[in-house]
Structures are given as C-alpha cells and as structure tokens.
C-alpha cells in the first residue's frame, strides 16, 4: 500500500485505508520534506525500508507478546482450576452388588460399606467439618474428636465418638448404636440412641426393636439377620448381596420373616429364606422366580 502511495496509484478506498496506518503522519511528513527537491531513488527506497522495518517490528512484538500472555493465562487458569477442584471435590466410594469395602477417613475413623452403597466426604475440609454423605448402609467406628455427622436422604446422625450402623434404603431408615451415644434427627424426631438400642423407621412409621446384643452388624460377618422384617425387605437385601433379581409375582411379600441368610453360598441362602416361608424357587441366569408351595 505504501509502495502504491509513493507511485500515486492508490484509489479512493485504498487511500482511506492508507490514512488508517499508524505511520500515516510520519509518511506525510516525509512526503512534505521531499517536495522541495528531487530525492534520489536510493534515498526514497531507504526511507521506505526504514518505515516498513518499523512496522514489521511492531507487528512482531505483538505476535511475540500474545503467545506469552496466552501461556501465562493458561497456566493461571490451570493452577486455579486445580486448586478449586482439589479443595471442593469430594472423595467418593461406591460398592457394587455382592461387594463390600472398607474406607479409612482422614481422622482414622473407619467405615465398612455394605453392598450397593455410596460414601462421600471432603478430605480438605475434614479438620473443620467431620461430615460424610451416605447412600445405602455402612458401619462406622468413629475416632473421638469434634462433632461427626452422617447425612442421608432420610435423616442425619450426629456422634462424638462411637460405633454404629446406618441403613437408608428407599422407605427404610435404621440407626443401631453399638457403642457410645448417637443423636438421630429425622423430620420432627430428635432422639438420642445409646449402646444396644436402635432407631427404625419403616414406611415413615417408628418401629420398636429389641435390645441389640451383638457388637457389630451381621453383614460385616457375611450374613444378614432379620427379626420380624417384611419378606420384601429380606429379598431386596438378598438381591444386593448376590447381584440377582427376584421375581415375586403371586407372593405375599408383606409376611414377616425372622431368620438369616449367608452371603457366601447362594443355594444355602435361598433355602434359608424359602423353607421357613414355605416357598420354592427356580433359577434362570440372574433371575430367581419364587413360587408358593
């Protein structure tokens, strides 16, 4: 464009664009300076090259600075993102059907997760807030210290240092204290549960239970025990422990069941449930069909 201007070859549109150049004033000053004498082609060319070199240098400086600025911004974003992610993201542990898992919390407390359960907590804020979120069932051994909370979809359990089991499945919410004292909060209920006692809600109704004499829940020893529990509750636990589906069409699943089943042998476990309930069964792949005798 500058070359065409020197040769007076710019049209109106090009000349308007030429006037927008940052070096326009310098070029016009150069033009005025050469009006009084005939400059040699060599000097005009030299001045032109100087101007062009200055323009190229400015462009080069911009091109060099932009990648550096972009790199600095990228590093800042990555560092900030990592800091935000590491301080706000929870640690989550999940179990599948027929699976159990042990989890150690930052303060040395331990949690045993039963099948098809989920536990999450934030290790970075643990010293200020000992809180976990639970879906499913877990047995806690809590180290003494500040307040410890277990949040579930059904209710909240607050302790200072104890051993207890929390089970929350659909319309079932149970807290069993094995050592120490726990505080259970559920809607309008706010109840302290001492060692050997339980808090049980089934379909929103508070259910009284006998004194608990064991030192840990039965499922931690690989068997499930029930006392006057609806059969459907027993069968759903069986499904979780053996990763199967049970067809209960035509079966009265509201009948009460007292007994236990093993987590180690499916045939023995099935007989432990069906014989007392006067049921028979057929197995097809991962489906078990129950029938009345």
Across-strand partners of 94?
118
Q: Please, which pLDDT band fits residue 122 given cuts at 50, 70 and 90?
A: very high
pLDDT, residue 190, reads 95
User: Which phi and psi (to 5°) does residue 212 adopt?
Assistant: -90, 120
Side-chain half-sphere exposure of 54, counting CA atoms within 13 A: 11
Distances (CA, A) of 205 to 200, 208, 253, 293: 8, 10, 18, 32
159 by DSSP, 3-state: which?
A: strand
Q: Which two tokens stand for residue 45?
A: 């060319």
What is the C-alpha to C-alpha distance for residues 261 and 236, in angstroms, rounded to an integer? 12
Task: Express each pLDDT in 164-196 by its tens digit.
Answer: 999 999 899 999 999 999 999 998 899 999 999
Q: What is the pTM of this model?
A: 0.69
Please compute Rg for the chain using Cα positions: 38
Q: What kind of architecture, by CATH, is found in domain 91-207?
A: Sandwich (2.60)
Cα atoms in the Cβ-side hemisphere of radius 13 Å centred on 20: 6
**Residue 49 pLDDT grade (very low, low, confident, very high; cuts 50, 70, 90):** confident
The region that residue 3 occupies, defined by phi over 0 for left and psi between -120 and 50 for alpha, beta otherwise, is alpha
Q: Which residues contact 120 (CB under 8 A, 6 or more apart)?
A: 90, 91, 92, 93, 132, 133
Instruction: In whole angstroms, give the CA distance from residue 9 to residue 34.
Output: 18
Domain residue extents for the chain? 2-84, 91-207, 222-292
5 vs 177, residue with greater confidence: 177
Q: What is the pLDDT of residue 125?
A: 94
Q: Which CATH class for the 222-292 domain?
A: alpha beta
- For residue range 123-146, what is the model confidence (pLDDT) as tens digits? 999 999 999 999 999 999 999 999
Give the model confidence (pLDDT) of 194-247 as tens digits: 999 999 999 999 999 999 999 999 999 999 999 999 999 999 999 999 999 999
247-279: burial string, b at 16+ Cβ within 10 Å, e else:
eeeebebeeebeeebebeebeebbebbbeebeb
Average pLDDT, the chain: 87
User: Average of pLDDT values for 18-40?
Assistant: 70
pLDDT of residue 293: 79
């Amino acid at each position: 464009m500058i070359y065409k201007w020197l040769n007076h070859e710019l049209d109106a549109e090009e000349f308007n664009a030429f006037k927008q150049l940052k070096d326009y004033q310098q070029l016009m000053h150069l033009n005025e300076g050469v009006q009084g004498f005939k400059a040699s082609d060599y000097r005009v060319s030299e001045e032109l090259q100087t101007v062009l070199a200055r323009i190229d240098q400015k462009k080069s400086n911009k091109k060099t600075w932009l990648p550096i600025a972009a790199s600095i911004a990228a590093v800042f974003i990555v560092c900030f993102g990592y800091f935000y992610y590491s301080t706000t993201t929870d640690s989550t542990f999940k179990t599948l059907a027929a699976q159990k898992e042990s989890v150690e919390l930052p303060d040395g407390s331990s949690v045993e997760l039963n099948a098809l359960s989920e536990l999450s907590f934030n290790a970075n804020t643990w010293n200020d807030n000992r809180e976990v979120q639970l879906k499913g069932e877990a047995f806690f051994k809590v180290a003494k210290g500040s307040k410890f909370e277990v949040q579930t979809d059904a209710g909240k359990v607050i302790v200072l240092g104890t051993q207890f089991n929390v089970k929350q499945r659909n319309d079932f919410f149970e807290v069993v204290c094995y050592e120490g004292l726990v505080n259970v909060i559920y809607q309008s209920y706010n109840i302290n549960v001492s060692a050997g006692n339980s808090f049980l809600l089934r379909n929103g109704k508070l259910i009284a239970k006998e004194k608990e004499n064991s030192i840990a829940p039965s499922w931690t020893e690989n068997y499930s025990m029930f006392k006057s529990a609806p059969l459907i509750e027993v069968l759903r636990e069986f499904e979780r422990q053996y990763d199967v589906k049970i067809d209960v069409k035509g079966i009265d699943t509201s009948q009460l069941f007292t007994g236990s089943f093993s987590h180690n042998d499916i045939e023995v476990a099935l007989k432990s449930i069906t014989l007392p309930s006067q049921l028979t069964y057929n197995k097809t792949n991962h489906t078990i069909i129950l029938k009345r005798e």
